[in-house]
Chains A and B, each alone.
Chain A
Amino acid sequence: MTIWEKMQKVDRRILYAILVVCVCVGLFFPTTIPTDPDPSSKSFYAEVMKLEKGSTVIIQTDWTNSTRGESMGHFENLMRLMMHGDHKFVFYSAADPAAPQVARTVLARIVAERKGQGLREYKVGEDYIDLGFFPNAEATNTTMGSNLRSVWANRKSKTPTGGEVDVWQTPVLKDVKNIGDVDMMIVVTASASIDVAIQRLAQKVPITAMVTGVTGPGVLPFYQSGQVKGLAIGLKGVYDVEYMMVNGINDVEVEGKKVVEWDKVGKVDRVNEGTTFSRGRAYYGTLHVALVLLILAVVMGNVAMFASRRRKGDAV
Chain B
Amino acid sequence: MDYDAIKITAGVVATIGLYSILYKENKFYRFFEHVFLGLAAGYTIVAQWKDTLYPQWWLKMFGQVADVDAATGAVTSPAVPGNWIYAAMLPIGLLAYLVFNRKHNWMSKIPIGVILGLWSGQQIQIWWNTWGPQIYSSMQPIIPTTFSTLSVPSTVEVVNGRVMPIQDPVALANVQQQLANNLYLTQALTNFIFVLTFASAFSYFIFSFELKGKFLTGINKFGRWMLMIGFGAIFGSTVMARFALVIDRMSYIVNEWVQALTQR
Contacts and interface: CB of A to CB of B under 8 A. Distances in A.
A234 B245 CA distance: 11
Q: Which size class do B's interface residues fall under?
A: 35 or more
Contact of B241 (A13, A19, A134, A234): A234
B255 interface: yes
Contacts, number: 178
Majority SS of interface residues in chain B?
helix
B214 interface: no
Interface in B26-46: 40, 43-44
B162 A250 contact: yes
A144 to B, nearest CB: 13
B251 A13 contact: no
A258 B164 CA distance: 12
Contact of B240 (A27, A166, A263, A291): A291
A177 interface: no
Residue in A200, A213, A216, A265 whose Cβ sees the most chain B Cβ within 10 Å: A213
Given A97-B44, A135-B52, A217 B247 contact: no
Nearest to A151: B56
Given A19-B246, A69-B248, A250-B162, A169 B238 contact: no
Contacts of B122: 138, 142
Interface stretch (A76-84, A220-228, A301-309): A220-228
A103 to B, nearest CB: 13
Interface in A5-50: 12-13, 16, 19-20, 23-24, 26-28
A235 B237 CA distance: 10
B145 interface: no
Nearest to A20: B250
Given A27-B254, A256-B161, A213 B237 contact: yes
A82 to B, nearest CB: 22
Interface stretch (A52-60, A113-121, A179-187, A281-289): A281-289
A261 B241 contact: no
A198 interface: yes
A97 B129 contact: no
